[in-house]
Chain A
């Protein structure tokens, strides 16, 4: 496996379900990100982890709960979601050494989430 992988690629869940999205990066990076991408809207940054520590929470509702057990893995735990949470959830990673926007972010293919 190379780059950034995400599982599952597609997920359908009811509003009362609990599910988790998984992201794994094979690039030796130390910064990882969760983004939400909705149709015709800009990518929305949700969470940033640097060296396993959460450094950004962009006012995300508590029904989204991130977890970063190590620099290679990132999870997004989902519970009691709403239909408006249906979107493409993208994970990204960057080197985390230089810091800031100069670092290239490498994206995974995303998880297409549908909340019924």
Chain B
């Protein structure tokens, strides 16, 4: 079983839709959870970072962590064509040092 599972998509939605991107994980020691966005021909960039459980909101983006279910989500409200990218979840337990465990990434396409 992979440590982090993420549906590769592609996920295609109309402009203005609410998007839900998800990852599941198997290691209950994970405490740090991140979402990265990767545009075509670019490296990933950090979008959201959360520690332990709960919700975090930043503009149109909300990150949610449910440690009891080992499930994390990224919600995008009022999606825009500029949100079209690959979204990578990443996570780590404290003892991993600098090491992050990534999901495979979900390709999102927002159609205008």
Contacts and interface: CB of A to CB of B under 8 A. Distances in A.
A105 interface: yes
Interface in A83-109: 90, 92, 94, 99-109
A94 B99 CA distance: 12
Interface residues of A, number: 28
B53 to A, nearest CB: 16
Contacts of B41: 109
What's the interface size class on B, roughly?
Answer: 20 to 34
Given A101-B32, A102-B32, A105-B46, A56 B104 contact: no
Contacts of A40: 8, 104-105
30 contacts: A33-B98, A40-B8, A42-B4, A42-B6, A42-B102, A42-B103, A43-B90, A48-B97, A55-B97, A56-B97, A56-B99, A90-B43, A90-B44, A92-B43, A99-B97, A100-B94, A100-B96, A101-B32, A101-B92, A101-B94, A101-B97, A101-B99, A103-B98, A104-B46, A105-B46, A105-B98, A105-B100, A106-B45, A107-B44, A109-B43
